A and B are shown apart, each in its own frame.
Chain A
Amino acid sequence: MMSQRSIRSLVLVAAATGLQSVAGAQAVDRSRAPMLGPPPKVSLPPIITRQLPNGLKLMIVEQHELPVADFVLVVGSGGTVDPSGKPGVANLTSTMLVEGTTTRSSLEIADQIAYLGIGLGTNSNWDASTVSLHTTIAQLDSALALFADVILKPSFPTSEFERIRKNRLTELIQLKDRPTAIANQAYASILYGASHPYGQALIGTEASITGMATSDLVSYYKTHFFPNNSTLIIVGDVSPAQIEKKIAAIFGGWQRGTVPAYTLTNAPKAAGTTVYLIDKPGAAQSSFRIGSIGVPRSTKDYFALTVMNTILGGSFTSRLNQNLRETRGYTYGARSGFDMRRAAGPFTASAEIVAAKTVSGLIEFMKELNAIRTAVPPDELLKAKRYLQLGLPADFETTQQIATVLVPVALYNLPLDYYNNYVQNVEAITQAEVQRVAREYINPSSLAIVIVGDRKSIETGLKAVGTGPISIRDFFGKPVTQ
């Protein structure tokens, strides 16, 4: 087994030839893992870039395996620039794009999506609003006409908004049923506080949704939906020259505008570690969200953090999952991750842990968050690097996958050869760097530990273990007065 692992280490980046050396036809030695040939050469599809005179950037990738294409319009504004006191505006603006245009009603849009057999969806996160289209080439022109209509001519009808508002308010009520959703919501609010955008709810709050009007959405749309604030990603069975012509004809008349600049202040980091306990009486499991404010996507430590997190909680064999699931059986799965945004998003370690093992679970979490700060053994480092490097081609299989992995390239201005250099950038990460970033970004003495669970049965134990003072919070992370 060791010999085979070292062979892998020899070939990793350089592997230029794809010939496999398979064992002969004689009886196989089953007592050891087979020797593997060099990994296939990673040849990622070229990205063709264009820009229309109105500033709309195009990223085109040809993929001719099936007669289909994916389009993703990435508008570079999201929930971060929700108007002050109105969380949810960006999200509802995106939602409303498919609820009526100057030429099509909400029901007509839905009818055409189904009739054409296409996928048309909208979304928004902190940094971007997106409109996605998946279509067969046979329906390309009709599909693009609909796609352009919802992007360029949304009419934000009041009657449709009233329906969406009622629906959203009901969703917020239903959120109280799901401990995992409560934990996510409270964790963000506790980490970032009430004044930072990342502490707000992307989908809005009861108060903000109730107070919102279509004029808020129109205003958001008119302020941010500009071609010069957008990239259109196109992947599929298309000819770049022809599709560029089509897109220029459809989107060429989209008027450019001035996108207001904004700066995000960094939220203050926690001083000391605190356990925030949120009561969900009778909960069968305790939902854990543990962490701190992490890093922006632009961090120089991106690859070191990615490797370090793969070891800590970013894969099935990661330490958190191995310990909490595969060794102790406390949970169905434990993980960690850095949510990297334009500004520093959260680092979070999480799991749903059987109520009776809440305290033991916390002890093991803390053990791993401490242990990752000491040197990682070479074979563990190598496994994580190979997992990231050799798994890369699988992310480039379908048109939809390729479009998805190009979104961060568009949004965060990553170099076009970003994925071509991914393997060597991962390879360059050393044991020392993994340890450095672990020490810099994972600090067990200043963590927010959010636990949603049955307070009656877990509070005493959590106090006794002494990880930090206990603060009782409500579903929104606000202090509960006793």
Chain B
Amino acid sequence: MRRALLVSICYLITVIPGSSLEAQAVPRIAFEKYTLPNGLEVILHEDHSTPIVAVNTWYKVGSGDEKPGRTGFAHLFEHIMFMGSQNVPVGVFDKELEAAGGDNNGSTTEDRTNYYELVPSNALPLALWLDSDRMGFLLPTMDLPKLDLQRDVVKNERRQSVDNVPYGKSEEIILAALYPKGHPYSWSVIGSMEDLSAASLDDVKNFFRTYYAPNNATLSIAGDFDPVKTKALIQQYFAAIPRGPALPPRPNVPAVTVPKDTFLVLEDKVQLPRAFYTWPTVKLFASDDAALDVLAAVLASGKNSRLYKRLVYDTQMAQAVRASQQSSKLAGFFQIDVTPKPEQSLAAIDKIVQEELQRLMNEPITARELARVQNSFKASFLNRMASVQTKADILNQYNYMAGTPEYVQQDAVRYERVTRADVQRVARLYLAKPKVVLTVVPEGKREMMLTSTGGAR
């Protein structure tokens, strides 16, 4: 569904290592980057294989920039950006794009907000007109009814993705327990109903003036276009938008630690309980980030992964198990969650989880395990090269998160360098430390909650 909320914060752009497989070369994404005098960064990537163009704009603002009492605002604002601007009456944005055969959407994370259109190549000027108008001229037609309408839509998005969904409220509870009060990641991107209700028209105006300026945005265009004509169009539509004030600095947050194991319980409308284990780790592109990605896959990706094989395949005590390293610009965490089969106890499952973690700390993984993960990562990387929409977004991701769009090969090297010993080392370094354990239980079944964990200290 459009205007989706992106809560997932881990980009797995990965590549291969020294396995015995014949390696398929990591393609470079050729691009040109320049900056307009008003600060707008532009990234262009030509790909004429299909007559379509992806226009992808990142604003360097996300839920991590929200003020206390206004959680969810960055995402609510994303919705507001579709409600018309000075020269684009409300509703016209979508109607014009659809009439031109295009689609569009936006998404918000802790760190950034993106907006994108995918259009037939002749409609590129239309996308640039629409995007530049809302970048430069959003406020003249902004009013409370527009805010109120999207407030209602976003509240329904929250109901549909959090409140009316089994286990849906687990994320915000974990984030609040994992991060200290006031940490930019201590609340969820979707925010609370109370804070959504509190958002005012002044908040909208201030947020726009602070963050939605060309000097806080990057326009990435990928696909079938003529670069000379496109640069002229960008000049025409964007150059006159005035630079905004200096951006407030992002909080420089210290590394997060959980002082001691914390056990939480949430009663929910669920048939089966689910336990979530969460450890603070490292941010995106930090030196151990890639090894933690590999560790997650070794634990729970595929039938031969350690936790899946023991819990779901062999003993069949669990219905499902997942593991992930979720890393963002300021911080990251490692998470495992497991859902028991009916009549199976979480305590017994926990014992196995702890045994398997201990085993990963005690001895290196096998060469085959490493090869499986690295080869699969490489394939997922190649698949991202297939669509201009994804390429435009990847260029923006690297530009913001790594400081340059030219980062594909470096990203590949990260994963090539992960060794069996690295995986053992990061397991010991991060997963032996105190964690947050949330058990979601069926209503009235608090006795199912985990109150201690076994092996790993």
Interface residues of A (CB under 8 A from B): 1, 5, 8, 18, 20, 22-23, 25-28, 30-42, 65-68, 106-107, 110-111, 113-119, 134, 136-139, 163, 166-167, 170-171, 173-174, 176-179, 282-285, 315-317, 322, 325-333, 352-354, 382-383, 386-387, 389-394, 396-400
Contact = CB atoms under 8 A, between A and B. Distances in A.
Nearest to A335: B1
B24 A138 contact: yes
Contacts of A18: 51, 121-122
Closest 6 CB pairs of A and B: A390-B101, A329-B152, A40-B51, A117-B379, A177-B166, A110-B303
20 contacts: A1-B96, A26-B236, A33-B129, A66-B385, A110-B302, A111-B372, A114-B376, A136-B382, A174-B319, A176-B271, A179-B164, A284-B163, A285-B159, A329-B152, A329-B156, A331-B160, A332-B153, A352-B156, A394-B120, A400-B386
B304 interface: yes
Contacts of B296: none
Given A36-B100, A177-B271, A383 B95 contact: yes
Interface in B339-391: 341-342, 368, 371-373, 375-379, 382-383, 385-388
A317 B98 contact: yes
A107 B303 contact: yes
Contact of B98 (A28, A42, A316): A316
Interface stretch (B68-76, B225-233, B399-407): B225-233
A40 B2 contact: no
A326 B101 CA distance: 20
A40 B122 contact: yes
B312 to A, nearest CB: 8
B390 to A, nearest CB: 9
B341 A170 contact: yes
A394 B118 contact: yes
B149 interface: yes
Contact of A173 (B150, B271, B387): B271
Contacts of A398: 386-387
B24 A136 contact: yes
Contact of B99 (A30, A65, A119, A386): A386
Contact of B126 (A28, A36, A113, A285): A36
B164 A352 contact: yes
B301 interface: yes
A22 B229 contact: yes
Contacts of B121: 18, 20, 40
B375 A116 contact: yes
Contacts, number: 249
Central interface residue in B98, B129, B304, by most chain A CB within 10 Å:
B98
A392 to B, nearest CB: 8
A327 B148 CA distance: 11
A33 B387 contact: no
B152 A315 contact: no
Central interface residue in B23, B232, B269, by most chain A CB within 10 Å:
B269
Interface string B266-296: 0001111000000000000000000000000
Given A326-B91, A386-B98, A390-B101, A397 B155 contact: no
A185 B137 CA distance: 47
A319 to B, nearest CB: 12
B386 A352 contact: no
Nearest to A68: B382
Interface of B: 1-2, 16, 19, 21-24, 27, 49-52, 87, 91-92, 94-96, 98-103, 118, 120-123, 125-126, 128-129, 132-133, 137, 148-153, 155-157, 159-161, 163-166, 224, 226, 229, 232-233, 235-237, 240, 269-272, 301-304, 309, 312-313, 316, 319, 341-342, 368, 371-373, 375-379, 382-383, 385-388
A133 B319 CA distance: 26
B152 A330 contact: yes
B188 to A, nearest CB: 16
A177 B229 contact: no
A114 B386 contact: no
Contacts of B133: 30
B199 to A, nearest CB: 14
Contact of A36 (B87, B125, B373, B386): B125
A327 B83 CA distance: 11
B35 to A, nearest CB: 19
Nearest to A36: B122
Nearest to A172: B271
A117 B302 contact: no
A10 to B, nearest CB: 13
A370 to B, nearest CB: 22
Central interface residue in B49, B126, B156, B378, by most chain A CB within 10 Å:
B156
A139 B95 CA distance: 45
B155 to A, nearest CB: 7
A33 B102 CA distance: 15
Contact of A114 (B126, B166, B302): B302
Given A326-B91, A386-B100, A394-B118, A67 B24 contact: yes
B98 A383 contact: yes
A118 B52 contact: no
A111 B304 contact: yes
A389 B2 contact: no
Contacts of B375: 114-117
A119 B50 CA distance: 24
B302 A119 contact: no
B271 A28 contact: no
Nearest to B388: A397
A330 to B, nearest CB: 7
Contact of B313 (A115, A163, A353): A163
Contact of A110 (B1, B123, B304): B304
Contact of B95 (A167, A317, A329, A330): A317
A263 to B, nearest CB: 38
Contact of A284 (B1, B159, B235): B159
Contacts of A136: 24, 379, 382
A114 B128 CA distance: 41
Contacts of B302: 110-111, 113-114
Contacts of A107: 303-304, 309, 313
A166 B341 contact: yes
Nearest to A327: B149
A20 B21 contact: no
Contact of B233 (A22, A41, A176): A22
Contacts of A28: 129, 236-237
Central interface residue in B50, B309, B319, by most chain A CB within 10 Å:
B50
Nearest to B443: A282
B2 A114 contact: no
A317 B93 CA distance: 10
Contact of B272 (A26, A35, A173): A173
Given A34-B126, A118-B379, A134-B383, A326 B95 contact: no
A221 B6 CA distance: 41
Nearest to B154: A332
Nearest to B105: A316
A469 to B, nearest CB: 27
Given A117-B376, A352-B160, A391 B103 contact: yes
